Amino acid sequence: MADLKSKDLPPHEIHEGSIQPSPTNVTDIAHGVDMDHYRATVPLWKRVWQHSLTQMMLLSVQAFCGPAMSDAITGLGGGGLATPQVSNITNAITYAMLAIFCFFGGPIVNKLGVKWALVIGAATFPIQGSAYYCNSKFGNQWYLIFSGAISGIGTACWYVAEAGAIMTLAPSGARGKYLALWIVSRNLGQLVGGAINLSKNHLKGADGGVTPDTYLAFVIIECIALPFALLITPFERVVRSDGTKIVTAETLSTKMELRRIVKTMTSKLVMFSALWALWSFFYGGTWSTYLGTYFSVRARALSSLISPFFCIVGCFGLGFILDMKHLSQRRRAQIGLWTVVILNVGVYIWSIIMQAKFDHHNPGHIDWEDGLYPSSFLPYFFRADDRAVVPVLHVLAYLILCNGCSGSIEAVGQAIAYGMNTQTTSNPMVGFCVTFGLLAAALGPMIMLVNTTPDRIPADIIAEQQDAAREKIESV
């Protein structure tokens, strides 16, 4: 499904390679539905199925069963394995494939269609959980590493399709509600995953990795995503709650789409935000190694439960800042940027000090009953709290760029971070220092980008144009 290209928006405000429609003229958006005729001729079950909210709920269930469960496994530190090495190798491969396929995500999804891209992605979700189970139960490492490649490809298809679908399904007056539903499903899924981790691994004295039964619970939940993906209806049949339909444009040739992707990737906006996107998801490998190296099984299980809870708190906190109506949009973005930067500088200084102490004296596996637990875990806690709000600061880039661009760069950061920690003797200190340096390098371009934040984002302009065109049609 290709984008509609606006004649009224500047070229850099057009989403290349995504599925989000940007209709800006009467011809494009005059695809309203005669609701009286629609109700009289279409059965109730079909109207419910084709409703935009129903489709959003189907997407949210998939987010709960797939990415949220994957995050819960990652939150165990080293995937919950006895040593983080193989998990880091697997994640490095996963994110490398994710980066490649997110880059080409637009053309791939346009050829497959949103539904089948989601189906392919959902079908690969259980592979990760089953691979961790086989490794934990039978020591089968080749399957775990192989699963990284398959999961990366499938998840990339799912992410690109999902990202555009979320922006496309929502009626102009309910984007916030639809987005909130998605955020709740992701974080609720991580909370459920964390609860599973803790319930299976709460006894003191357990050494090595988490119990194999933990992964079986994840596999069961991950399998549920596929039937919900199959229930997705083609988006041209979806009817929004305001009586409008999703408008699709003709599909571009693969050659033309690739040209536009290259043009977008070399644009000023991408160049300025690339380091920030790379840094914002660079933390995974280092913190996963830190947890897996220095914390007991049940302490790692506890972290997978409480981290997503405070992710929600952090997200709403920054959301409050970004929604302060008495400040200009640019000022809100500036405050949000410096909030995250100051928090992260403190976290990095703290974590480097703690790692220096651990290099001098290895603490073994820290349990939540140990006196060292609060000071050693709090850096991870604050970084986990912050990871939910970092992407908010480049949400404008998501609105302006293709869905795959930022996702591809972020996945590159994750791949490098996990790749740095693939050695058993890997020292988290290296990762902390490199991540700190990336933040310093990314800050200058990001300040310049935030300082040029427009008063109105393209989504608001499009919504106003849709409303104006609708009023014009009704007046005829």
In a domain, 4, yes or no: no
Nearest alpha-carbon partner for 74 in 257, 416, 307: 307
Give the number of other CB atoms < 10 A from CB of residue 236.
11
CB 261 within 8 A of CB 33: no
Do you know the residue count of the chain? Answer: 476
Whether the per-residue pLDDT at 261 is higher than 90: the answer is no
**6-27 pLDDT, tens digit each:** 333 333 333 333 333 333 332 3
Q: CA 268 to CA 345: how far, in whole Å?
A: 27
pLDDT score for 362:
85
**Could you tell me the CA-to-CA distances from 10 to 183, 290, 291, 457, 458 in Å, in that order?**
30, 45, 46, 12, 10
In a domain, 45, yes or no: yes
Please state, for a pLDDT cut of 70, what percent of the chain lies above it: 72
Residue 29, judged by CB atoms within 10 A of its CB (0-12, 13-18, 19+), counts as buried
30: helix, strand or coil = coil
Whether the per-residue pLDDT at 160 is higher than 80: the answer is yes
In a domain, 76, yes or no: yes
Q: CA 275 to CA 370: how far, in whole Å?
A: 38
Least confident among 13-27, 93-107, 165-179, 423-437? 13-27
Query: In sequence order, what DSSP letters do the residues of 150-208 get, joined into one string?
Result: HHHHHHHHHHHHHHHHHHHHS-TT-HHHHHHHHHHHHHHHHHHHHHHHHHHS-STT--S
Instruction: Please tell me the total count of domains within the chain.
Output: 1
Q: CA 211 to CA 204: how far, in whole Å?
A: 13
Nearest alpha-carbon partner for 289 in 138, 143, 89, 66: 89
Nearest alpha-carbon partner for 128 in 226, 218, 227: 218
pLDDT score for 146:
92
**293-323 pLDDT, tens digit each:** 888 878 887 877 777 766 666 666 655 665 5
In a domain, 292, yes or no: yes
Least confident among 114-123, 163-172, 331-340, 452-461? 452-461
Average of pLDDT values for 141-152?
Answer: 90
**185-214 pLDDT, tens digit each:** 877 777 887 788 788 777 776 655 677 888
Type and span of the H or E element at 86:
helix 85-103
CB 153 within 8 A of CB 97: yes
Whether the per-residue pLDDT at 106 is higher than 90: the answer is no
Q: At 116, which CATH number?
A: 1.20.1250.20
Give the number of other CB atoms < 10 A from CB of residue 53.
17
pLDDT score for 153:
92
In a domain, 2, yes or no: no
**Would the CA dihedral through 153, 266, 254, 465 be positive or negative?**
positive
pLDDT score for 59:
92
Q: CA 24 to CA 460: how far, in whole Å?
A: 12
DSSP state of 366: B
Nearest alpha-carbon partner for 31 in 187, 246, 270: 246
pLDDT score for 49:
92
Residue 143, judged by CB atoms within 10 A of its CB (0-12, 13-18, 19+), counts as middle
Please state, for a pLDDT cut of 90, what percent of the chain lies above it: 10
Give the number of other CB atoms < 10 A from CB of residue 170.
23
Q: Which domain holds residue 359?
A: 11-475
In a domain, 273, yes or no: yes
**202-257 pLDDT, tens digit each:** 777 665 567 788 888 889 999 999 999 999 998 888 888 777 887 665 666 777 77
In a domain, 3, yes or no: no
